[in-house]
Amino acid sequence: MPKKEYYQGNKEKYRKESNAYYSKNRELVNQKRRHPRRKHTKEELRAVADKYKRKWFKENMKRLSPLAWGNHLKRKYGITSKEYNFLLESQNGCCAICQRETSKLRKRLNVDHCHKTNTIRGLLCWDCNIGISKFRDEPRSLERAALYVQSHSNHNIS
C-alpha cells in the first residue's frame, strides 16, 4: 500500500501533472475516452490503409490500367477503346499535327475535341494538344503564330 499512501499525501502534485498532460494532449485523451480499446488514432490507421492501398494499386496497375483508360474514354469523350484505335489507325499511328509516331512518344495520343460542341477532332501528342489549348482553339491566332514563325525563320541573327 505504499503507492496509495504516497498518492494520498501528494494529491495536488498529481492533479497538476494530470491537468498539464490533459491540456497538452486534449484530443488524444478525449479520443481514448470515446474508444478506450483503440490502440491507434484514426490518422494512424488511415496512413496504414493508404500504404496498403498504394501497394495494391502498384501490383495491379497493369491489369487495371486498360479498364480504367477505356472507362475514361467512354465517360469523357463518349468513345470506346476500339473507336480510339480506329482513329489512331486512320492517322497512321501519328499525331495529326506534328506527325510524330506513337512509338516515339512516352504516352498515348490525347483525344483532341472542341470544348464548345464536344466533337472529336483527332488524336494529338501532348505538346500539340497543349499548344492548341494555349491559343484557346482560335484558328486566327494559330495562323498569326504560323506567319510569325515563318517570317522570322529566314533571318539569320548574328
* Eight-state DSSP code of residue 35: S
The pLDDT score that the predictor gives to residue 155 is: 60
Q: What is the mean pLDDT of residues 45-53?
A: 92
| Residue 79, amino acid | I
pTM of the predicted model, to two decimals?
0.56
Helix extents (H) in 35-99 = 42-77, 81-90
Q: Looking at the predicted structure, is the pLDDT value of residue 44 above 70?
A: yes
Higher pLDDT among residues 87 and 114, named by residue: 87
Check residue 25 and report its DSSP letter: S
Dist CA 10 CA 4 (whole Å)? 10
What nine digits make up the cell of 142? Answer: 494559330
Q: For residues 119 and 113, is the Cβ–Cβ distance under 8 A?
A: yes
- How do residues 107-156 score in pLDDT, each as one tens digit? 889 999 988 888 999 999 999 999 988 888 888 998 998 899 888 876 65
Ranges in the chain annotated CATH 3.40.1800.10: 79-158
Question: Does the domain made of 79-158 have the CATH classification 3.20.20.140?
Answer: no
pLDDT at 124: 94
Please say whether the beta carbons of 103 and 93 come within 8 A: yes
